[in-house]
């Protein structure tokens, strides 16, 4: 079997230039299937640009990458069908109900009506949104919106889900409930690719990479990273790596 098919993501010297500016500079890593992979970095380190390439939204300048076995240059549409995406800024449609949002995204992801009905029923029960199913999403508390947005992003059982700061601004209890959902999805075999500014959340990942000035400067388990940098916390590891960053933060 081709090893590329066994990995969720394979990246080799992936690079993106904008004119003279090298936003992403020869990054290489692999993400296993079902792994929770934390993608950290200082503001402006190149995380978003790298994620856009991996999601099939932007062509790399050079290097190779395969996501869910599909090539980032030639098979962008297949990549888009194989992934889910959620960010703090990406919200659901506020003026559609919970049920309508689920139906809309299920439809976009190409689920059959029968499948969609089963999934949306299961999803509403799991999230305990029975009472709110016919309410506008705009009227829900932020934490519920975030949990719903995540559930919708994995409604089609994608190979990989990309989460861009999914828990920003959420209260500490809801933040943890959100991670319960992440673990549950990972348990179903969905690979999780997540960025966060909460360093305690970095600890919940199987492995983390830390980007500085366009390069992946460290990649390992949280435990090994703390050992290597003689640090008590991921906060300290991150600080040691990123304080030398030359790029202005953005």
Query: 3-state SS string over 124-181?
Result: HHHHCCHHHCCCEHHHCCHHHHHHHHHHHHCCCCCCEEEEECCCCCCCHHHHHHHHHH
Closer CB to other proteins, 59 or 227, in the complex = 227
Task: Based on the shown chain and the rule CB under 8 A, indicate whether residue 243 belongs to the binding site for other proteins.
Answer: yes
CB of 218 to other proteins, least distance (A): 14
Residue 179 contacts other proteins per CB under 8 A: yes
- Whether the Cβ atoms of residue 249 and residue 42 lie closer than 8 Å to each other: yes
| Least CB distance to other proteins at residue 128 (A) | 13
Question: Which residue's CB is nearer to other proteins, number 105 or number 238?
Answer: 238
Q: What are the phi and psi torsion angles at 57 (to 5°)? A: -105, -10
- CA–CA separation, 120 and 125 (whole Å): 9
CB of 168 to other proteins, least distance (A): 6
- Three-class SS state of 185: helix
Q: Which stretch binds other proteins (CB under 8 A): 55-63, 77-85, 147-155, 172-180?
A: 172-180
3-class SS of residue 113: helix
Window of 4-12, 74-82, 92-100, 168-176 that interacts with other proteins by CB under 8 A: 168-176
Alpha carbons 221 and 225: distance in angstroms, whole number: 6
Return the number of the residue (1 or 248) whose C-beta is nearest other proteins: 248
* Contact call for residue 172 and other proteins (CB under 8 A): yes
Please report whether residue 199 would count as binding other proteins according to CB under 8 A: yes
Nearest distance from C-beta of residue 110 to other proteins, angstroms? 31
Among candidate residues 39, 33, 43, 27, the one with its CA nearest the CA of residue 5: 33
For residue 133, what are its two tokens? 């199913």
d(CA 20, CA 230): 36
Cβ 172 to other proteins shortest distance, Å: 5
Query: Of 203, 215, 229, 160, nearest to 7 (Cα)?
Result: 160
Q: How many residues bind other proteins (CB under 8 A)?
A: 38
Binding mask 128-167 for other proteins (x = CB under 8 A): -------------xxx---------------------x--
Nearer to other proteins, 20 or 114 (CB): 20
Kindly state whether residue 235 participates in binding other proteins, applying the rule CB under 8 A: yes
What CA–CA distances, in Å, run from 121 to 56, 106, 196, 221? 31, 12, 30, 37
Binding flags for other proteins, 42-61, as an x/- string (CB under 8 A): xxx-----------------
The SS3 assignment for 92 reads coil
Q: Which residues bind other proteins (CB under 8 A)?
A: 41-44, 141-143, 165, 168-174, 176, 179, 183, 187, 197-200, 203-204, 222-223, 233-235, 238-239, 242-243, 245, 248-250
């Amino acid at each position: 079997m081709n090893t590329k098919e066994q990995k969720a993501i394979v990246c080799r010297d992936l690079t993106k230039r904008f004119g003279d500016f090298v936003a992403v500079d020869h990054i290489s890593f692999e993400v296993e299937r079902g792994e929770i992979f934390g993608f950290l970095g200082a503001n402006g380190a190149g995380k978003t640009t790298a994620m856009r390439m991996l999601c099939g939204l932007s062509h790399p300048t050079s290097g190779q990458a395969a996501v869910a076995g599909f090539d980032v240059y030639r098979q962008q549409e297949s990549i888009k069908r194989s992934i889910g995406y959620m960010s703090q800024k990406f919200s659901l449609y506020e003026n559609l109900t919970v049920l309508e949002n689920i139906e809309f995204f299920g439809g976009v992801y190409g689920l059959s009506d029968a499948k969609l009905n089963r999934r949306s029923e299961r999803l509403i029960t799991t999230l305990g949104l029975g009472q709110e199913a016919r309410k506008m999403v705009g009227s829900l508390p932020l934490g519920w919106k975030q949990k719903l947005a995540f559930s919708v992003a994995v409604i089609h059982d994608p190979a990989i889900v990309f989460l861009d700061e999914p828990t920003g601004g959420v209260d500490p209890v809801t933040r943890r409930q959100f991670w319960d959902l992440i673990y549950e999805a990972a348990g179903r075999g969905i690979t999780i690719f997540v960025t966060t500014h909460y360093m305690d959340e970095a600890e919940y990942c199987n492995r983390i990479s830390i980007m500085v000035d366009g390069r992946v400067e460290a990649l390992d388990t949280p435990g090994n990273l703390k050992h290597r940098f003689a640090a008590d916390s991921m906060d300290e590891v991150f600080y040691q790596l990123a304080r030398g960053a030359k790029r202005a933060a953005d």
